[in-house]
């Protein structure tokens, strides 16, 4: 049996029930097959793949807190420190009822390659809790965040592990966690990114994932003789990534006609009015449905049907496995020719294969949403320097990084004989740097 298949079987056997983790490992290993086969003896001897698929450490802990009714609540907290070969662990914290070890391991594993692709010195990690911030008061969110950080603070640090936001973790949650870290340790250091601008945050971090997604999309379109201006775009989600992807796509002349949340989607044939969405989501923390109450002509549909809306370009920006084979076929038959993933692993494996086989342009999340973590790394640099760069400076660096990620993914795909396959290209380019660093550092 090939080394790759052997390792995949081992992962399934040793991590029973972790289906999202199995899915992420399979996708990466399948596209690394050629690289691994070319170096099989060397990698086998160093048990490189065995080490690559095993997190360096998983910390799991209880998070007790008291709700507004005076009841004690207990959630599960985690940090997966996956791989530190090229830098301190870096990756978001997710607060969502679906969070479990499998989801965080898949996200941490993906993060290793994504962070490598950015060209910056950051290893991969991910963490979070099954706590649901939706419907909680500010005081309850603070109580949870303080309890979560009380335990997590023992394992993180500016040169050790630097978490950031993800689903359910925005500026408010990062603020509460940072305050608690500082109180416990007495350190004013860049231990979290996505901080507020008054206490060490970076300009353009809020926009970075969405903007970066559109920068790499634009680059991919240009290299394939197409352009973004004038295209119709459908974006799922209406959180941080979706909002700023909409903003940048609109700035570059595209028309975004649909957004969603976990209850349903809105369609506005005149083009989404982003100020209304920001008011609903960033200020009121409301539901996307409210858009249709406020904007004449907009239609709200309950349920998951956003991929039935005809478009040229689809940007899934909500969550994992939100776009399946049937959705992929519907998109294609409605004329969609480009998919770029703002979320992590939003397309199922079957959908991804369909995009690649049917000749659509497809940019996987690992490359397409790397702008967020890249700008987090820029926030770390500013914290270390005790300086703040201007919005334009950070945005220009972000754009450069996204253009470089495109070039790396396209080049690796060419080198291994699969031109235009950015899934393989991104995995290979991300892997090469991590593998070389792991080999150089010996058996650790």
What is d(CA 53, CA 74) in angstroms, rounded to the nearest whole number? 30
Nearer to ligand NDP, 166 or 268 (CB): 166
Nearer to ligand NDP, 3 or 244 (CB): 244
φ/ψ (deg, to 5) at 195: -70, 165
Nearer to ligand NDP, 262 or 301 (CB): 262
What is d(CA 77, CA 130) in angstroms, rounded to the nearest whole number? 7
Q: Of all residues in this chain, which one has the CB nearest to ligand NDP in the complex?
A: 239
SS (H, E, C) 187-208: CCCCCCCCCCHHHCCCCCHHHH
Nearer to ligand NDP, 48 or 339 (CB): 339
Measured torsion, CA atoms of residues 377, 380, 385, 388, in degrees rounded to the nearest 10: 80
Sheet holding 264-267, edge to edge: 299-302, 264-267, 255-260, 232-236, 313-316, 338-340, 361-363
Catalytic residue among 105, 114, 126, 281: 126
Alpha helices in 46-195 (DSSP H): 48-52, 101-117, 138-152, 171-185
Least distance in angstroms from the C-beta of 238 to ligand NDP: 4
Least distance in angstroms from the C-beta of 21 to ligand NDP: 15
Going by DSSP bridges, is the β-strand pair 264-267/255-260 parallel, antiparallel, or unpaired? antiparallel
Least distance in angstroms from the C-beta of 247 to ligand NDP: 13
Number of H helices, E strands in the chain: 17, 12
CA distances from 444 to 56, 84, 128, 131, 439 (A): 9, 10, 26, 34, 10
Nearer to ligand NDP, 167 or 272 (CB): 167
Burial of 321 (0-12, 13-18, 19+ CB in 10 A): middle
Least distance in angstroms from the C-beta of 279 to ligand NDP: 15
Least distance in angstroms from the C-beta of 162 to ligand NDP: 14
Least distance in angstroms from the C-beta of 311 to ligand NDP: 18
Least distance in angstroms from the C-beta of 225 to ligand NDP: 28
What is d(CA 258, CA 228) in angstroms, rounded to the nearest whole number? 17
Least distance in angstroms from the C-beta of 106 to ligand NDP: 10
SS3 225: coil
What is d(CA 65, CA 140) in angstroms, rounded to the nearest whole number? 8
As a whole number of Å, the CA-based R_g of the chain is 21
Residue located via tokens 């539901």: 287
Nearer to ligand NDP, 48 or 175 (CB): 175
Burial of 45 (0-12, 13-18, 19+ CB in 10 A): exposed
Mark whether 195 is an active-site residue: no
Nearer to ligand NDP, 133 or 425 (CB): 133
Nearer to ligand NDP, 112 or 318 (CB): 318
CB 339 within 8 A of CB 150: no
Residue located via tokens 């971090």: 205
Residues that bind ligand NDP (CB under 6 A): 165-168, 209, 237-242, 261-263, 317-319, 322, 342-344, 369, 372
Which residue numbers are catalytic? 126
């Amino acid at each position: 049996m090939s080394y790759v298949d052997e390792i995949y079987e081992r992962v399934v056997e040793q991590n029973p029930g972790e289906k999202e983790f199995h899915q992420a490992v399979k996708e990466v290993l399948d596209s690394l097959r050629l690289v691994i086969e070319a170096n099989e003896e060397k990698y086998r001897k160093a048990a490189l793949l065995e080490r690559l698929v095993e997190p360096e450490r998983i910390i799991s802990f209880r998070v007790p807190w008291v709700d507004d009714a005076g009841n004690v609540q207990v959630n599960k907290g985690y940090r997966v420190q996956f791989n530190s070969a090229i830098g301190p662990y870096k990756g978001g914290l997710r607060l969502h009822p679906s969070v479990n070890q499998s989801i965080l391991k898949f996200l941490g594993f993906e993060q290793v390659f994504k962070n490598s692709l950015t060209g910056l010195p950051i290893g991969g990690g991910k963490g979070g809790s099954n706590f649901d911030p939706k419907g909680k008061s500010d005081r309850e969110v603070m109580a949870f965040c303080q309890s979560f950080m009380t335990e997590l603070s023992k394992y993180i640090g500016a040169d050790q592990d630097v978490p950031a936001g993800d689903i359910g973790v925005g500026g408010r949650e990062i603020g509460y966690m940072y305050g608690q870290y500082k109180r416990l340790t007495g350190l004013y250091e860049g231990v979290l990114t996505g901080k507020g601008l008054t206490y060490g945050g970076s300009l353009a971090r809020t926009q970075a994932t969405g903007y970066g997604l559109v920068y790499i999309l634009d680059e991919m379109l240009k290299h394939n003789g197409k352009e973004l201006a004038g295209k119709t775009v459908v974006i799922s989600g209406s959180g941080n990534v979706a909002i700023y992807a909409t903003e940048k796509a609109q700035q570059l002349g595209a028309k975004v006609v649909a957004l969603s949340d976990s209850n349903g989607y809105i369609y506005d044939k005149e083009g989404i009015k982003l100020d209304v969405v920001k008011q609903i989501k960033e200020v009121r923390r409301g539901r996307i449905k409210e858009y249709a109450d406020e904007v004449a002509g907009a239609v709200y549909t309950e349920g998951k049907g956003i991929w039935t809306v005809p478009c040229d370009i689809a940007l899934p920006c909500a969550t994992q496995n939100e776009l399946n084979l049937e959705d992929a076929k519907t998109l294609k038959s409605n004329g969609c020719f480009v998919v770029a993933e703002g979320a992590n692993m939003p397309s199922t494996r079957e959908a991804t294969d369909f995009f690649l086989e049917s000749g659509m342009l497809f940019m996987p999340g690992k490359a397409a949403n790397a702008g967020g973590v890249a700008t987090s790394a820029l926030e770390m640099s500013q914290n270390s320097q005790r300086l703040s760069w201007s919005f334009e400076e950070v945005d220009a660096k972000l754009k450069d990084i996204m253009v470089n990620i495109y070039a790396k993914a396209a080049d690796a795909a060419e080198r291994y004989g699969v031109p235009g396959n950015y899934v393989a290209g991104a995995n290979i380019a991300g892997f090469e740097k991590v593998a070389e660093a792991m080999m150089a550092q010996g058996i650790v």
